[in-house]
Structure 1
Amino acid sequence: MRTYLDFEKPMAELEKKLEEMKVLAKNNNVDVSDAIVLLENNITKLRKEIFENLTSWQRVQLSRHPDRPYTLDYIQQICDEFIELHGDRQVRDDPAIIGGWANVNGQSFMLIGQQKGRNTKQRQYRNFGMPNPEGYRKALRLMKMAEKFNKPIVTLIDTPGAFPGMEAEERGQGEAIARNLKEMFMLKVPVICIIIGEGASGGALGLAIGDKVLMLENTWYSVISPENCSAILWRSWDYKEQAAEAMKITAKDMKQNKLIDGIIGEPLGGAHLDHAWMANEVKNAILENIADLNKIDAQTRIDERIEKFCAMGVVIE
């Protein structure tokens, strides 16, 4: 059963009427085809009106949609072959981060992504997509392996943040993320980073230093979530919508501020409505960018990567 967000309720009511009309026509052998076509046109028109004028907060809601494709969904859709690799060789394997060798159309690369989980059991196992330090150390180990075999790296980012628990801090959460930032700047192979859902704080940034940083249309990327920003500034979550607007966290805002390199469009209504179509768009973006980056020598890529991130936030008066 499809899940509707609050701002989609007018559309939900029309779609419910459409289903009832189709059932009525089938059960009673009544021809209501004209009415069905009219209602379908109204639904399409309403969906277009809603999704062409989304607020920042509504895009945040879409990025968290429970039916939205996660890393494993993309792996299943785009990879001809995928061999998952486990463990950080220090503590344990972190299920919140998935990584391994991927083969797509004969092109091999290292694919690393964050996984949230669909149901309660999976979410607990994946720690709601919040990696521990060993997750970031596993990711770095796999990146170094890709560099050793001269294979590109692709990261899929979707996390509400790195795990903030005491045990994570005891095992060096901050150090693990900081080391990833440092090492990713110096990787000699092409690195492509794609925000597929939530891109929150250092939890996202620990996998997001790349030659190309892309965002799906209905995703967000920021140092803090709108709710937590609201809690700090207004001591309440009630102002999360105002915070989302002020923070400029959507893909369009990030592109305008030159913090990302591109936006991957989503189907009208969000990525959750057509996993196969969305996966194909992500696949094409990966292959196109790998082809472009392979034309550049390693040292030039590293220099341009460093220059790009160093230019962020610089203001000249």
Structure 2
Amino acid sequence: MEYLDFELPIKELEEQLQKCYEIGEESDIDVAETCKKIEKKLQKTKKDLYKNLTPWQRVQLSRHPNRPYTLDYIRAICGDTFMELHGDRSVKDDKAMIGGLGKIGDQTYMFIGQQKGYNTKTRQYRNFGMANPEGYRKALRLMKMAEKFGVPVVTLLDTPGAYPGLEAEERGQGEAIARNIFEMTRLKTPIITIVIGEGASGGALGIGVGDRVFMMENTWYTVISPESCSSILWRSWEYKEQAAEALKLTGDDMKKLKLIDGIIKEPLGGAHSDREGAFEAVKKTIEDTYAELKDLTEVDLVAQRMDKYSQMGVYKE
């Protein structure tokens, strides 16, 4: 298990607990009472620590190397029923954007999301979760397929942003994202969107227009990363913590601003500390949300979605 800087008190207590167990196994000394005291202190430390996280600490948790990614959620939720679909039918198959059909119970869903890598090799293969235009066009192709067959769409957001390379811009990165946003607003099938990690800029918004939008507890969703914001406003990355505070990027902030519909509570310690608990929370959210949306007519579904987004923000006519 890897620990972030602010998690070091937990690391120390867990090491003490492990040593306590080892002493009990290797000798005749009864350490049960001591172990219980350490466990109690560990639980209290975790509750106190994760109850008062700063926005920057939530950003760090969203990037934790042990945090589950899109394919982890899909495979855990759908099991062997998931069938990945490839290609945008124009350029190539973008490995940073994955999608396909999978079942939860008897209901089929079209899952779409950004996928990051687990090590240097797979991170390069997945382009660090940063999709090219063909990734967004693949996502749109799959959404249109879902609409044709009456299959609800689930999008899982986890990206530091769309790929900013020259070749991506040459192939129409901005147009691809804008086209997705436009098409998703009027897609005639339910769309459930969940931010499972980083939700940065248009890279996330390109698959982020949903009838219901949720954020997991330790994720963020905003127009720019704290580091980039800091480098623009202060000409240095040293002010990333202040930037994270100013951006109002946490689930609580987004809920207050009425930009998302709900927050999915994570297990104590974050999704990486109890993957099964995180998978179950996401699965339940998808099932409960689809139960709310499935009986709406296509006209009502699109009308409600359009109303939802037209009411966001402050403006004068």
Secondary structure of the 1:108 match is strand
User: C-alpha separation between the residues in 1 aligned to 2:28 and 2:188?
Assistant: 66
User: C-alpha separation between the residues in 2 aligned to 1:108 and 1:229?
Assistant: 40
User: C-alpha separation between the residues in 1 aligned to 2:298 and 2:28?
Assistant: 67
Question: 2:42 matched to which residue of 1?
Answer: 43
Question: 1:270 matched to which residue of 2?
Answer: 270
Provide TM-score, normalisation by structure 2: 0.98
1:145-203 alpha-carbon deviations (Å, 9 max, x no partner): 00010110000000000000111111111110010001001100000110000000000
User: C-alpha separation between the residues in 1 aligned to 2:37 and 2:18?
Assistant: 13
Q: How does 1:8-19 map to 2 (within 5 A)?
A: 8-19=7-18
User: C-alpha separation between the residues in 2 aligned to 1:46 and 1:282?
Assistant: 26
Question: 1:119 matched to which residue of 2?
Answer: 119
Question: 2:25 matched to which residue of 1?
Answer: 26
Q: How does 1:167-246 map to 2 (within 5 A)?
A: 167-246=167-246
User: C-alpha separation between the residues in 1 aligned to 2:15 and 2:41?
Assistant: 13
User: C-alpha separation between the residues in 1 aligned to 2:316 and 2:269?
Assistant: 39
Letter of the aligned partner of 1:65 in structure 2? H
User: C-alpha separation between the residues in 2 aligned to 1:309 and 1:244?
Assistant: 24
User: C-alpha separation between the residues in 2 aligned to 1:73 and 1:49?
Assistant: 29
User: C-alpha separation between the residues in 2 aligned to 1:76 and 1:150?
Assistant: 22
Question: 2:71 matched to which residue of 1?
Answer: 72
Stretches (4+) displaced over 6 A: none
Q: How does 1:42-121 map to 2 (within 5 A)?
A: 42-80=41-79, 81-121=81-121
Question: 2:154 matched to which residue of 1?
Answer: 154
User: C-alpha separation between the residues in 1 aligned to 2:154 and 2:10?
Assistant: 36
Secondary structure of the 2:13 match is helix
Q: 1:220 deviation in Å?
A: 0.2
Letter of the aligned partner of 2:26 in structure 1? N
Secondary structure of the 1:29 match is coil
Question: 1:138 matched to which residue of 2?
Answer: 138
Q: 1:21 deviation in Å?
A: 1.5
1:217-240 alpha-carbon deviations (Å, 9 max, x no partner): 110000001111111110001111
| 5+ residue gaps, structure 1 | none
User: C-alpha separation between the residues in 1 aligned to 2:43 and 2:244?
Assistant: 27
User: C-alpha separation between the residues in 2 aligned to 1:210 and 1:21?
Assistant: 49
- The worse-fitting range, judged by mean Cα deviation, of 138-147 and 290-299 is 290-299
| 5+ residue gaps, structure 2 | none
Secondary structure of the 1:18 match is helix
User: C-alpha separation between the residues in 2 aligned to 1:316 and 1:174?
Assistant: 27
Question: 2:299 matched to which residue of 1?
Answer: 299
Identity %: 61
Q: 1:303 deviation in Å?
A: 1.2
1:41-80 alpha-carbon deviations (Å, 9 max, x no partner): 0011111110000000000000000111111111111004
Q: How does 1:251-262 map to 2 (within 5 A)?
A: 251-262=251-262
Q: Size of the alignment, in residue pairs?
A: 316
Q: 1:29 deviation in Å?
A: 2.7
User: C-alpha separation between the residues in 2 aligned to 1:245 and 1:157?
Assistant: 21
Provide TM-score, normalisation by structure 1: 0.98
Secondary structure of the 1:98 match is strand
User: C-alpha separation between the residues in 1 aligned to 2:12 and 2:188?
Assistant: 53
